[in-house]
Amino acid sequence: MRDFDPVVTINQMGGQGKLRAMVGAEFYTNGTQKLTIRFKGSRKYNTLEITLNFMDLYNMRFGQVGKNSFKEKKVIEDVYNDMLKPIFEQTTGLYLSL
């Protein structure tokens, strides 16, 4: 299993600049295990947590962050790196490029 690199994951989704411009994304990490992206514009979700599993594939957890809690609403497991962006767009209804 390779190490999880949040910068590589952000770049696979289009890069920090595009994510910030298109959905107002803010990025958080807890070391090298998880990338959390907070975003605006979707009624269903405002947070995406991305982790790398033991098969070197990504797990995506979509949900809502409230005052003091995370409410998980949808989980997609075993995602290849080239599917991160299309799954985000399909799930949230938000686009990461023009």
pLDDT tier at 69 (50, 70, 90 boundaries)? confident
| Structural domain includes residue 1 | no
Contact between residue 53 and residue 4 where contact means Cβ atoms under 8 Å apart? no
Contact between residue 37 and residue 16 where contact means Cβ atoms under 8 Å apart? no
* DSSP codes joined into one string, 9-52: HHHHTT-HHHHHHHH--EEEESTTSEEEEE--S-SS-SEEEEEE
Model confidence pLDDT, tens digit, residues 18-50: 999 999 999 999 867 899 999 999 999 999 999
| Structural domain includes residue 97 | no
Residue-range definition of the domain harbouring residue 56? 6-92
Number of domains within the chain: 1
Enter the DSSP assignment of 81: G
Global pTM? 0.91
Q: For strand 70-79 and strand 26-29, is the pairing parallel, antiparallel, or unpaired?
A: unpaired
pLDDT at 58: 96
